[in-house]
A and B are shown apart, each in its own frame.
Chain A
Amino acid sequence: DTGVSQDPRHKITKRGQNVTFRCDPISEHNRLYWYRQTLGQGPEFLTYFQNEAQLEKSRLLSDRFSAERPKGSFSTLEIQRTEQGDSAMYLCASSAVVGRTDTQYFGPGTRLTVL
């Protein structure tokens, strides 16, 4: 069990550029989540997949954001036309239901800085 991995760990981009982040969940975890964390705040939910189906999206996820999980394994989060307000830590988590609920295990995050 190697844990959740995210790539890249850091990304610096200029305003208006597109960026894409990747998340590899714990193997055999069928649920995958994306959260965003800004300085001094707790993580905020963005979106959630069960297998390849995107089941829930937060209102925080504007039209510039898109997430995919094409084969029910890894996931990508793309931000188009980045803005300075997008600067944050993007966290991925995965889980599998055991009993009544699941426990989400988080990756190390991708820190995005938009200049």
Chain B
Amino acid sequence: AQSVAQPEDQVNVAEGNPLTVKCTYSVSGNPYLFWYVQYPNRGLQFLLKYITGDNLVKGSYGFEAEFNKSQTSFHLKKPSALVSDSALYFCAVRDEFFGNEKLTFGTGTRLTIIP
């Protein structure tokens, strides 16, 4: 079984401050982890993924995420927030086992950047 938890429904950050959106996961084997962003009335846009290797993953629009195996976490971060980062963010996980291709998503975190 695979699952994802995003413990915060809403995160507010002042423009220019660093931001963190939290994600924890549970899988039977090794995880493949993803972050997506959703703007109003639009589909999901891929930001970044962790497959293996370096625990710090860099992605689009200046976002990065840190994989922590001991804490089973994959938090999304950005050093300096922009108002345009305001959106709904989803963490997703897939177990590495062959034949399991579906992504399991969290419930999402609404990020609001305050000017």
Contacts and interface: CB of A to CB of B under 8 A. Distances in A.
Interface of A: 4, 6, 31, 33, 35, 40-45, 48, 55-56, 58, 91, 93, 99-109, 111
Interface residues of B, number: 26
Contacts of B99: 55
Dominant SS at the A interface? strand
Contacts, number: 65
A36 B29 CA distance: 26
Which of A43, A99, A111 is most buried by chain B, counting CB atoms within 10 A of its CB? A43
Q: What 5 A-B pairs have minimum CB-CB distances, sorted nearest first?
A: A42-B105, A45-B102, A106-B43, A106-B44, A108-B43
Given A56-B101, A106-B46, 19 more contacts: A4-B43, A6-B43, A31-B101, A33-B103, A42-B90, A42-B92, A42-B105, A42-B106, A43-B90, A44-B105, A48-B102, A55-B99, A56-B102, A100-B32, A101-B51, A103-B34, A103-B49, A106-B36, A107-B43
Interface of B: 4, 32, 34, 36, 41-46, 49, 51-52, 90, 92, 94, 96, 99, 101-108
9 contacts: A40-B107, A41-B107, A42-B107, A48-B102, A56-B102, A100-B96, A103-B34, A103-B49, A106-B44
B106 A48 contact: no
Contacts of A48: 101-102
Nearest to A31: B101
A7 to B, nearest CB: 13
A99 B49 CA distance: 13
B36 A55 contact: no
A91 B51 contact: no
A4 B90 CA distance: 19
A109 B43 contact: yes
Contacts of A105: 46
A55 B44 CA distance: 23
Contact of B105 (A4, A43, A58): A43
A42 B43 contact: no
B43 A100 contact: no
